[in-house]
């Protein structure tokens, strides 16, 4: 059965042992983030947290509600997330009825589909309008909005379901766009340049018209998820939510703007944007694990705040993975796979690994039937919706389980040939990508490790393995180069050996020189791939290494080939190296907050 509201979902989480209530007083300034960060990095994503005593507000705070595979299944009402793509495939593969009996068999599905479109209800049926504040009564300070990280520009609403319409009023857009709170009635709206909300905003700006906006906070789980989903332009997110719920989403007309919002939401903000008014927003600790840069963004003037009696504030934090957003993204990976196959039917499966933070890495398996099919697939993905932001694509055969990263890595290190299997391209990149020399675009890498077939370079060739006994001792590298602070061999028997190096870079071009010197040393010639990271990186933590690798990589610039070997420089870049962005800082909590949280930890979780 679908959840009518967030309240029902909270009850379900508690009944299933997936929720912890915390009565200990906590601050929304950094403390909740530190607690949640520790919990979300526990095995399986920890538990959802309901903070019942938040300083400065009467509202409880719910966070990490979607932060595990089990909670995502509960949120979307399935035993297994794979049930949803199976349902989608039923509709995609629906054959037109040829006989009366076929039409009769089709009737149950058609009746089910009739429940998908949203429906409008009256204010008396809208719990989100039990309490209404307008004019001078509007006070965003009553909401326990978090400051997530020490260098954030302020407090940010991080799980807002933002609703707006196109300038001609024909299309509705629903999305998650963070909102920095400036004062009692003014926030920013952080629309990335590539998003539908930004496109609608620019329509209003061209016409010099004010744009109405509504923001729902704490809707039912299907609506919360659907607002994050990468739907094609013009497709209503409330329609997807209806499909997931198998029941129409009830909407209610707002009090001061001509828009509709989920009637069962906890809190609703209404207002308008003057397209001529921009204000500095950010920095903000983002899902890449780095602070996104500040910039000028539209300003929302809040004309009304409506809410339930005794509302719950739903929020989230993002940062160094894993965090709650990983599980929302994994749901998208599974749910949208059938839709991707409608355009690229050779796709067997897809994995967006944790360390790739959605847009930095995708692994795809295909049913290969003709030469260079993997390269065609890469080019197609780089031209397809939000897949166009992906920086690295690895393509394997259908026999490889892409959800098993060790299996993928084994295939990669045994099959890849540097000359024939690496495919470099250029294109748009996510606005949060900081590695490229310029913002919003840069180089991309495709890796084809499918089995070579007749007609392809490499067909029938045997690949020579590197004997494990010939690999150097990492301590020899540390002894040879004073800038090397630590190094670690990847423990995998494969044709290509990999060495991770933590390097103290202090000047431009230093790592490129180091790579050349390293491979000239006969004692290190058995290393195939040298990955050079910043000095502070824990090279023994494979997940951390891969997270840094994908974040800091610009493939064309950072791949250095030396006599059949490959050195990869994923250190911070200098302007003298052609870098024209501002390299951001990594997210880290202050020691003061860490100590405060540690002191109250046992009181918060003594019954768990």
As beta bridge partners, residue 538 has none
Phi, psi of 133 (to 5 degrees): -120, 130
Spatial contact of 60 and 50, defined as CB atoms under 8 Å apart? yes
Phi, psi of 531 (to 5 degrees): -110, 115
Token readout for 560 is 């250095």
61-83 burial, b at 16+ Cβ within 10 Å, e below that, comes to bbbbbbbbeebbbbbbbeeebee
Catalytic one of 37, 286, 325, 554: 286
**Does the CA dihedral 157-256-300-241 come out positive or negative?**
positive
Phi, psi of 516 (to 5 degrees): -65, -45
Give which of 383, 391, 378 is closest to 430, Cα–Cα: 391
Residues 487, 501: Cα–Cα separation, whole Å: 4
Q: How many CB atoms lie within 10 A of CB 369?
A: 8
- The answer to whether 286 is a known catalytic residue is yes
Give which of 317, 321, 324 is closest to 285, Cα–Cα: 317
Phi, psi of 115 (to 5 degrees): -85, -5
Spatial contact of 90 and 222, defined as CB atoms under 8 Å apart? no
Residues 238, 240: Cα–Cα separation, whole Å: 5
Give which of 32, 507, 72 is closest to 333, Cα–Cα: 72
Q: Which residues are catalytic?
A: 286
């Amino acid at each position: 059965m679908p959840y009518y509201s967030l309240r029902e979902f909270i009850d379900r989480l508690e009944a299933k042992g997936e929720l912890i209530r915390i009565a200990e007083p906590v601050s929304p300034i950094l403390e909740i983030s530190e607690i949640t960060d520790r919990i979300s990095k526990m095995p399986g994503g920890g538990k959802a947290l309901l903070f019942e005593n938040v300083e400065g507000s009467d509202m409880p705070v719910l966070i990490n509600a979607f932060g595990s595979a089990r909670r995502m299944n509960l949120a979307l009402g399935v035993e297994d997330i794979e049930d949803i793509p199976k349902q989608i495939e039923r509709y995609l593969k629906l054959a037109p009825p040829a006989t009366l009996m076929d039409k009769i068999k089709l009737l149950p599905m058609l009746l089910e589909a009739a429940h998908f479109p949203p429906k409008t209800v009256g204010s008396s049926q809208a719990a989100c309008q039990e309490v209404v504040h307008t004019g001078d009564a509007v006070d965003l300070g009553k909401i326990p909005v978090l400051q997530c990280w020490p260098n954030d520009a302020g407090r940010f609403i991080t799980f807002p379901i933002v609703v707006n319409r196109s300038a001609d009023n024909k299309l509705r857009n629903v999305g998650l766009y963070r909102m920095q709170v400036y004062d009692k009635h003014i926030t920013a709206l952080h629309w990335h340049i590539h998003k539908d909300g930004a496109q609608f905003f620019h329509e209003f700006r061209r016409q010099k018209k004010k744009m109405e906006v509504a923001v729902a906070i704490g809707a039912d789980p299907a609506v919360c998820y659907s607002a994050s989903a990468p739907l094609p332009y013009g497709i209503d997110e409330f329609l997807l939510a209806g499909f997931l719920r198998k029941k129409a989403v009830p909407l209610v007309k707002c009090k001061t703007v001509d828009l509709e919002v989920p009637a069962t939401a906890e809190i609703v903000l209404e207002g308008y944007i003057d397209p001529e008014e921009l204000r500095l927003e950010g920095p903000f600790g983002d899902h890449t694990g780095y602070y996104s840069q500040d910039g000028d963004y539209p300003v929302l003037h809040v004309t009304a705040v409506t809410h339930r009696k005794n509302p719950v504030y739903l929020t989230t934090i993002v940062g160094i993975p894993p965090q709650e957003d990983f599980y929302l993204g994994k749901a998208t990976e599974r749910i949208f796979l059938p839709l991707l196959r409608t355009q690229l039917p050779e796709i067997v499966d897809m994995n967006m690994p944790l360390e790739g933070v959605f847009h930095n890495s995708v692994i795809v398996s295909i049913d290969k039937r003709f030469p260079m099919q993997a390269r065609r697939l890469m080019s197609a993905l780089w031209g397809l919706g939000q897949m166009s932001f992906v920086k690295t694509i690895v393509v394997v055969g259908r026999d490889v389980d892409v959800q098993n990263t060790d299996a993928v890595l084994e295939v990669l290190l045994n099959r890849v040939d540097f000359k024939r299997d690496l495919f470099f391209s250029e294109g748009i990149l996510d606005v949060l990508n900081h590695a490229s020399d310029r913002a919003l675009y840069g180089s991309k890498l495709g890796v084809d490790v499918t089995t070579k077939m007749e007609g392809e370079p490499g067909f029938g060739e045997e690949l020579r393995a590197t004997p494990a006994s010939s690999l150097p001792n990492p301590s020899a590298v540390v002894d040879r180069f004073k800038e090397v602070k630590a190094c670690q061999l990847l423990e995998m028997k494969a044709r290509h050996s990999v060495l991770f190096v933590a390097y103290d870079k202090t000047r431009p071009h230093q790592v490129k020189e180091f790579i050349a010197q390293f491979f000239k040393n006969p004692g290190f010639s058995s290393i195939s791939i040298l990955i050079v990271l910043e000095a502070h990186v824990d090279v023994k933590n494979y997940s951390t290494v891969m997270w840094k690798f994908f974040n800091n990589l610009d493939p064309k610039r950072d791949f250095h080939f030396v006599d059949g070997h490959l050195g990869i420089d994923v250190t911070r870049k200098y302007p003298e190296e052609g870098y024209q962005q501002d390299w951001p800082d990594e997210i880290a909590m202050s020691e003061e907050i860490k100590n405060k949280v540690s002191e109250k930890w046992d009181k918060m979780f003594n019954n768990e």
